[in-house]
Amino acid sequence: MKRILIVIGVLVCLVAAQMVFGQVAEGVIHYETKINMHRNIPTEREGMKAMIPEFRTVKNQLFFNATETLYKPVIEDEEEEWTGGGGMRMRFGAPQSETYINTESQMRTVSQEFMGKKYLIEDSLKMLPWKFGTETKTILGYECKQAYFTEEVQIMMNQQQQTRTVEITAWYTDKIRPFLGPDRFNTLPGTVLAVDVNGGERVTLAVKIEDKPLKKNELKAPSSGTKVTQEEYRKIVEEQMEKMRQSGGNVIIRN
């Protein structure tokens, strides 16, 4: 019964928002994510900073209509290349991850590559523990309100599993339809146009909004990969973390 009420509530909000604001029915929002790759390098590995760029930028697009969204990477013609200390060259390709959400069925499907294998992670749509701030900022001409929360993530660092606190700050506008946003940040009463993780560690910003009819097959649920639940995928990652204890690699698991 509770699930039915949530679904009805979501649909009522979508319809009401479109009637009040003359909402954009469908279109594409372009995002750029700037990642600070030096922030989490431990002191004892300072030398790695000469081997990798300080910042990396990733481009994504959010396709949406009244009840569905698909967040996926922009496939560039060429991979990003960086030359570090000693003439070492590194290539960076776009992360192969897509997030599809259907607000009618309240389902979230993530297509994710991990260790060379593709998984299809299916789970119910969950509300994040947002708190609302008082600050505002303007993004692409839209006045945006502030929302934030903190979460605990498990990481493997220096061959040990550790818990890390992550602070998330989002900026959303209620002048575009609710429950839109990049990746998993899509449970606010508006459209999320910016997300800041840990004060600049990872910043996602909308750079363009297109109000236009979508082409055929631009917005469809991913279907390739091994189907697993979120819990099953978590176990797969945890097993890999155990294997990485000997190499000292880092893996992050979100709750």
Q: What is the domain-level CATH number for residue 151?
A: 2.50.20
On whether residue 178 sits in a domain, the answer given is: yes
Domain extent for 46: 24-254
On whether residue 81 sits in a domain, the answer given is: yes
On whether residue 136 sits in a domain, the answer given is: yes
| Tokens linked to 55 | 């910042």
**Residue at token pair 């002191």:** 43
pLDDT of residue 77: 53
On whether residue 202 sits in a domain, the answer given is: yes
pLDDT above 90 for 24: no
On whether residue 56 sits in a domain, the answer given is: yes
- What would the pLDDT profile of 68-104 be if each residue is shown by its tens digit? 999 999 986 555 554 555 555 555 555 578 999 998 8
Instruction: Report the domain count for the chain.
Output: 1
Helix ranges restricted to H, the chain: 2-21, 230-243
On whether residue 221 sits in a domain, the answer given is: yes
- What would the pLDDT profile of 144-171 be if each residue is shown by its tens digit? 999 999 998 766 555 556 778 899 999 9
- The b/e string for 208-234 (b: 16+ C-beta within 10 A; e otherwise) is ebeeeebeeeebeebeebeebeeeebb
Distance of CA 2 to the CA centre of its chain: 27
pTM: 0.78
On whether residue 17 sits in a domain, the answer given is: no
pLDDT of residue 8: 41
pLDDT of residue 250: 52
On whether residue 9 sits in a domain, the answer given is: no
- What would the pLDDT profile of 175-217 be if each residue is shown by its tens digit? 998 999 999 999 999 999 999 999 999 999 999 999 999 998 8
Cα gap 33→45, rounded to integer Å: 25
